[in-house]
Structure 1
Amino acid sequence: MSASLARLDSLDARYPLAAGTLVALAATAGSLYLSEGLGLVPCELCWYQRILMYPLVVVFGVALVERRPGVARTVLPLSTLGTALAAYHSWLQIAGGGRCAFGGCATVQLRVVGLTIPNLSLVAFALVTTVVAWLSVGDW
């Protein structure tokens, strides 16, 4: 067994569950701040990504409290689809010269650390998917 797998086996399932909860919570809070706090209008693709991210806060949170690492079967379809949507949305902005042509965010409205809103969503979904894959590898 490699050293990294031995370290993975020694970890408690709470750490990846907490990481997934924090990422989903930060993404949800961030999207709410962008629309409610800054008044940015989300486009249709943004709404679909929100629909896939928001439940992950509850799903991961409950799994964390109940120490249920089997949550991967619930999270993986949502996070994988969210990753695909966010990647497509990011690609549309790149291919369209900063436009996604889906209503509200037809142009790049904001950049955070050089990333657009769809890019931030892609990072969040990729992190959640990585955490779920991490949970699936370990014998929790």
Structure 2
Amino acid sequence: MNPLTTYKFQPDFRLGAAWIISIAATLGSLYFSEIKGYIPCDLCWFQRIFMYPLTILLGIAYYKKDLGILKYVLPLSCIGGAISVYHIAYQRFYSLFSNHGLAACGPTPCNVNYFTWLGFITIPVMALTAFLLITVLLWSLSRAAKAKGASTED
């Protein structure tokens, strides 16, 4: 029995995993700002704008077993990931951005690293990892559903 064609849609691990990743990313960002006291820069806020709704939308989709949500959450995840890529580039190549007048950010500079794990893992790298994992999981779920004939248009 194929889980994608049972009833309307029976979610496999991918939708639930994407939801759990979005919850972890949301709680992680709140931990860094509310408990550790790190003040988010403008780019961090934009990444949050795209991650926080994923937590709610993916949770509802998982509960309702609704694949139709994919057309709404995939763009959020892709755009959030693109912002993360820009933020990582901004941090790594700040002098290049500042030399061309592109280094404007809000009250908290976007090039500040509050910490670095293993020499390369920063907060924007963690955000990008979450966005990439969510995107890959949802994209593969969408492909599997189309291959099995399950509707994502509901």
TM-score (norm 2): 0.77
Please name the residue that 1:111 is paired with.
116
Matches within 5 A, 1:40-119: 40-96=38-94, 102-103=105-106, 104=108, 105-113=110-118, 114-119=120-125
> What is the distance in 2 between the residues matched to 1:9 and 1:60?
17
Query: Identical aligned pairs, as a percentage?
Result: 38
Whether 2:32 is the aligned partner of 1:34: answer yes
CA contact under 8 A between 1:18 and 1:64: conserved in structure 2? Answer: yes
Unpaired runs of at least 5, structure 1: 1-6
Unpaired runs of at least 5, structure 2: 98-102
Q: CA RMSD in A?
A: 2.3
More helix by share: 1
Aligned-residue offset at 1:92: 0.7
TM-score (norm 1): 0.84
> What is the distance in 2 between the residues matched to 1:8 and 1:119?
34
More displaced, 51-60 or 129-138? 129-138
CA contact under 8 A between 2:14 and 2:137: conserved in structure 1? Answer: yes
Post-superposition Cα deviations, 1:24-76, rounded to whole Å, max 9, x if no partner, equal: 00000000000000000000010010010001001000011111122210101
Q: Name the amino acid aligned to 2:112.
A: T
CA contact under 8 A between 1:8 and 1:138: conserved in structure 2? Answer: no
Aligned-residue offset at 1:9: 7.1
CA contact under 8 A between 1:72 and 1:132: conserved in structure 2? Answer: yes
Please name the residue that 1:136 is paired with.
142
Where 2:115 maps in the other structure, the secondary structure is coil
Where 1:138 maps in the other structure, the secondary structure is helix
Q: Name the amino acid aligned to 1:31.
A: S
Q: Name the amino acid aligned to 1:110.
A: F
The equivalent position to 1:14 in structure 2, one of 12, 21, 32, is 12
- Deviating runs (4+, > 3 A) in structure 1? 7-10
> What is the distance in 2 between the residues matched to 1:52 and 1:30?
14
Q: Which structure would you say has the larger Rg? A: 2
